[in-house]
Amino acid sequence: MKVVPEAYSNQFRRTIDSYSVVTDASFAKLLALLRCQSVPRGNFLVQTGQTARNFYFVCEGILASLLINQQGAAHIKNFFIAGNFAGSTVSLLQASPSAFGLQAIVESIILVVDYRQYKQLICENSDLTNFYIAYLERNWVINNEKRQLAFATQTATERYLTFLDDYPDLEKQVLQLHIASYLGITPTQLSRIRKGLNLI
C-alpha cells in the first residue's frame, strides 16, 4: 500500500467533479480515506460470495466483474477502466455476499476506499451526497438500463460495435476471450463477427 501520488489524486478529483463539483475541504476529507494499491494481473479484489468492504477507483489498468455460472464458466459483467469506480455495489449496500468477483485482468493501480467510512463522510457533507446521487443515477440507472436494452434488442454484431464505441481502446488491451465473455458469445462467434467486419 502506498501514499496516493498527486497525479492519481488529481485524476480522482477530476472524475468526482465530472459528476458533481465538491469543495476542496470535502475532497481533502475524502482523500484522507484513500490508499493506493498495485494489483497484479489475475488477482481478485472481491471473491464471489465474499462480503465487500471497500470500493475502488481505477488509476491504471483494467478490472472486470465476473459472474460464474453453474458449469463454472466465467461471464464478464462489466469492465472498469482508468477513471472508473469499481466495486460490488449491492454487497456494499446490503452488507451481503457478493454475487460476482472483481478481478484485475491486467496489472492495475487502484485507490481503495473503506465503504463504511465513505458512507459516513457523504452523510456529513452535502456536496459529497450530491456526487454520490449523481454517480448512482448515471451508472446504476441510466447506463445500466442502456446495457440491458442493448442485450435484449441488439444482435451480437451490434453489441460488439457498441462495445467498440463504449471502450475504444480496450480491444488492444484485453484478450478476445474477455470480450466474447462480456458480449455473451463464444470466442469463435466473435472471430466470425470480426472477420465479417474486416477486422481480422
Per-residue model confidence (pLDDT) at position 200: 67
Enumerate the CATH 2.60.120.10 domain ranges in the chain, comma separated. Answer: 1-129
pLDDT (0 to 100) of residue 150: 83
Q: Which of 5, 4, 1, 28 is nearest to 16 (CA)?
A: 28
Q: Helical H runs in 50-186?
A: 89-94, 115-124, 126-136, 143-153, 156-166, 176-183
**Residue 24 banded pLDDT, cuts 50, 70, 90:** very high
- pLDDT tens by residue, 95-151: 999 999 999 999 999 999 999 999 999 999 999 999 999 999 988 888 888 888 888
Q: What is the pLDDT of residue 148?
A: 84
- Global confidence as pTM: 0.92
Domain 1-129, CATH number (from 3.40.50.620, 2.60.120.10, 1.10.10.10, 1.10.540.10) = 2.60.120.10
Start-to-end C-alpha separation, the chain: 41
CA distances from 10 to 15, 43, 51, 155, 169 (A): 9, 26, 30, 39, 22
Look at residue 144 in the predicted model and tell me its pLDDT. 81
Checking if the pLDDT of 76 tops 80, the result is: yes
